[in-house]
Every structure is written in structure tokens, then in C-alpha cells.
Amino acid sequence: MQELRRHSLGSTDLVQALTALGDEITSSYATNEDSKDAVEYRVLLEGSSRSLHPLLRDDLYRILREAVGNAFHHARAKRIEVEIRYDVKMLRVRVRDDGIGMDTQVLAEGKRGGHWGLPGMRERATSIGAQLNVWSEIGAGTEIEVKVPGVIAYANAAAALGFPGWLERKIHKL
């Protein structure tokens, strides 16, 4: 069942994939009569892009796709921003919008009845060894942050940090 939910990310570059996602959603809004105002969407990169473990990259993309999609579909935002920061010790990605914010009950419970977005994001984050944080305030937008330790996120990070081969193999199994 789990494998049915996995799909390969077309691009290996997270910045490129998230930029294409924004373009795709923005163009679908341009043809939608319900969309009156254009949404400003941008992807920011801090640090040098690094290769990610493929399965981790795919699950991370799915988390971010859900966050970006929620911002477009539910937040009524004017601006949506994705910030990707490649630090040596940590990969951090934030999706933030200036929209209406999340209902306090949804935020407290971590889900909306009949919807699987937030629980699915949390499940994926846990499965890749990431930490997922959600901040929101009514009228002030929402920010979703995903943090993954570099030793887990980056391809060949364990070897570069001098970990023994057995530990590197164990990390690759995550």
C-alpha cells in the first residue's frame, strides 16, 4: 500500500521541481473563473543546492506539494513563498503564505475532519526522519517548516562526514 503512494519526482532538483509546481498551479488558476487575483509565488534558495537521497527527496517533495497546494487552494493568499536552505548539518524548507491562517481548532488537532493533508504530511515527515512544524494565526497566514538532518538528507553525507561504512549503509536504509 505504501509503495502505491510513492511516485518518482520528475526533476532531481528540488528548486526546479517546486518552481514548476508553482507554475502549474498558477496557470490552472489563470484559467479558473473563480480566481480573481493573481498569487505571487516564488522559490528562494539559500546555500548551494545539494543532491538528496532519492526516496527522501520524493517524500519531501510530496510534503511540500501538499503545503503549497493548501496555500493556493485554502489560504486565499496574495503571496506564497518557499524557502529552501541547504546547510551542512540541516536541510530546512519553509512554505509560508500571507493568507487567512488556519482555524485554531484544526491547528490544535493537527487535522480537519475528512481531510488527510496535515496528517499525511506528518506521516511522511516521520518516515524520512524529518521534523514538521506548523505555525498559523488567523489573518496572518501560515508557515510550514520541514527540517531534515543533513546526514539523512544529503546523498553521500555520511561518507563526507567520515562515518564508517556500516553507519552510512544504515542511514541509507532510512
Q: Tens digit of pLDDT for each residue in 63-122?
A: 999 999 999 988 999 999 999 999 989 999 999 999 999 877 666 655 555 555 788 899
Reported pTM: 0.78
Q: Return the pLDDT at 149.
A: 95
Contact 170, 154 (CB under 8 A): no
Which of 43, 2, 5, 8 is CA-nearest to residue 22?
43
Residue 2's pLDDT band (cuts 50, 70, 90): very low
User: Is the pLDDT reported for residue 10 higher than 60?
Assistant: no
Which of 70, 90, 72 is CA-nearest to residue 28?
72
Domains of the chain in start order, with CATH, are 3-173 (3.30.565.10)
User: Is the pLDDT reported for residue 8 higher than 50?
Assistant: no
Contacts of 10 (CB under 8 A, 6+ apart): 17, 20
Q: Return the pLDDT at 93.
A: 98
CA 170 to chain centre: 24
